[in-house]
Amino acid sequence: MQVDTLCVVPIRATKRGDERTPLDGTYDVLICGASFAGLAVARELAGSGAEVLVVDRYEIGERQTSACGIPTVWMEALGLMEAERQRFDSLLMHTPHGDSRFRLPFTFSTFDYRELCALLWRDCDARFETAKVDGRARPANGDGAIAIDTDRGAIAAPLVVDALGWRRVLAGDDGFQPPDAPLSRGLEVHPTGTGEDLEVWIDRRYVPAGYGWSFPARDELRIGVGSFDPRFHVRETTELLAEDLDAERVRYQGNWIPHKLRHATEGGVFFAGDSAGHCLPLSAEGIRTALYFGIALGRELRGVLDGWQSREQAALRYAEFHDSHEWKFRWMLHVQRLVPRIPPRLLGPLVRMLGAKRFVEWSFGHYLQIAPPEFASSGSAHDQQRADQEQHDADHTLGAERDLVEAE
């Protein structure tokens, strides 16, 4: 990874040296990664009675991984409102040829990362350990368990989740490296300050393909630039945007952002969040989708623990669920590729046109439905499977009745 633009100085709460005792053993479920996707999976497994281990190289919530902006309804659906910092009912879009304010059909909120992770973890009953995951141990166990190498020893489980972010550490190949991989890059600074608006800049002064942003979070601003082209370095222009906004260039936070779906399962391992490419192209919104797919995966794994489906069935059902979203992600990627081709002088009028109330309501409504908040409170995978089966049986009975009528 080219770390020049992506440097981060986390506040380390993680155990070091002698405190890092050896860690090994076998669990029912091993969840690698304790951010949005990993914690969403763990939360769905609470109360299952299974031995669930969650590992991350940092303590839970120690290292912020985003600007932490999300549709408010998702925070409400998961009971996470205590972590909210600020709420917005409009989006202010800046182009070199004029500004437009979009009145949103639903609000967005910024939140405190550490607090939100703590709230998600509060609802889990898993065990947590800090450990750096190095990859799959070879050879794998013969008893159906999958062994994972960490810097504290090998851990095995029949159900293993990779929620480790874009690197997809537990995949068989290692061919997912920037700048050739379908990854965007994002970097932001977090100065102290206040603001009223959720703001976005589509301006080639900051980035030829991508956008700049300023997300206020009560007493802090999250000012950054994201480039859809991984070859474009965003450090200089992130600093330029901060300078233009008279903000301090402090507390850098950045990472690669996948903009294409990858396989949901591979070699018996389940992937959720950025590791499965669940971040939405164009908007680079990946928190809501990491939670959404994490919940879906958690429900399937719960089905295995409750004994009504096998790991293979869970893999099949989760992959089907993931694949059913593919066309929506593909469509957004088309638009992502289209935006940089629009001549700059047309951008202003186009953005104003797209700001029409009916269009905003229609497009944002569809956008929210890619990962709808109702999903968070909908039934378990077993309920869903029962409903599918009932529907299938009803269709079958109807078909048989129709055949009977036709035969008569």
Report residue 314 as tokens. Answer: 């869970």
Residue 116, class by beta-carbon neighbours within 10 Å (0-12 exposed, 13-18 middle, 19+ buried)? buried
Least distance (Å) between residue 285 CB and ligand FAD: 4
What is the sign of the dihedral through the CA atoms of 341, 343, 346 and 347?
A: positive
Q: Give phi and psi for 242, each to the nearest 5.
A: -60, -40
Which helix H or strand E contains 366, and what residues bound it? helix 357-369
HSE-up (13 A, CA, CB side) for residue 61: 13
Least distance (Å) between residue 171 CB and ligand FAD: 12
Cβ closer to ligand FAD: 33 or 348?
33
Cβ closer to ligand FAD: 61 or 303?
61
Cβ closer to ligand FAD: 34 or 295?
34
Least distance (Å) between residue 216 CB and ligand FAD: 12
Least distance (Å) between residue 113 CB and ligand FAD: 9
> What is the residue type of 327?
W
Taking a C-beta distance cutoff of 8 angstroms, is the pair 311, 159 a contact? yes
Question: Which residues neighbour 211 within 8 Å (Cβ) at sequence distance 6 or greater?
Answer: 200, 201, 202, 225, 226
Cβ closer to ligand FAD: 262 or 317?
262
Taking each helix axis from N to C end, the angle separating 287-305 and 36-44, rounded to the nearest 10 degrees, works out to: 30
Cβ closer to ligand FAD: 74 or 95?
74
Least distance (Å) between residue 26 CB and ligand FAD: 19
Least distance (Å) between residue 183 CB and ligand FAD: 10
Taking a C-beta distance cutoff of 8 angstroms, is the pair 146, 156 a contact? yes
Binding site for ligand FAD (CB under 6 A): 33-38, 56-58, 63, 65-70, 132-133, 163-165, 167, 169, 186-188, 224, 253-255, 257, 273-274, 279, 284-288, 290
| Angstrom distance (rounded) from CA 371 to CA 289 | 6
Cβ closer to ligand FAD: 184 or 385?
184
Taking a C-beta distance cutoff of 8 angstroms, is the pair 18, 39 a contact? no
Report residue 233 as tokens. Answer: 């370095």
Residue with tokens 């289209």: 338
Cβ closer to ligand FAD: 279 or 304?
279
Cβ closer to ligand FAD: 65 or 309?
65
Least distance (Å) between residue 391 CB and ligand FAD: 32
Least distance (Å) between residue 28 CB and ligand FAD: 20
Cβ closer to ligand FAD: 68 or 156?
68
> What is the residue type of 267?
G
| Angstrom distance (rounded) from CA 176 to CA 26 | 29
Cβ closer to ligand FAD: 48 or 150?
150
| Angstrom distance (rounded) from CA 74 to CA 108 | 9
> What is the residue type of 223?
I
Question: Which residues neighbour 2 within 8 Å (Cβ) at sequence distance 6 or greater?
Answer: 178, 179, 233
Report residue 263 as tokens. Answer: 């396989």
The radius of gyration of the chain's CA atoms, rounded to the nearest angstrom, is 22
| Angstrom distance (rounded) from CA 46 to CA 64 | 24
Least distance (Å) between residue 257 CB and ligand FAD: 5
Q: Which residue is at the shortest CB distance from ligand FAD?
A: 286
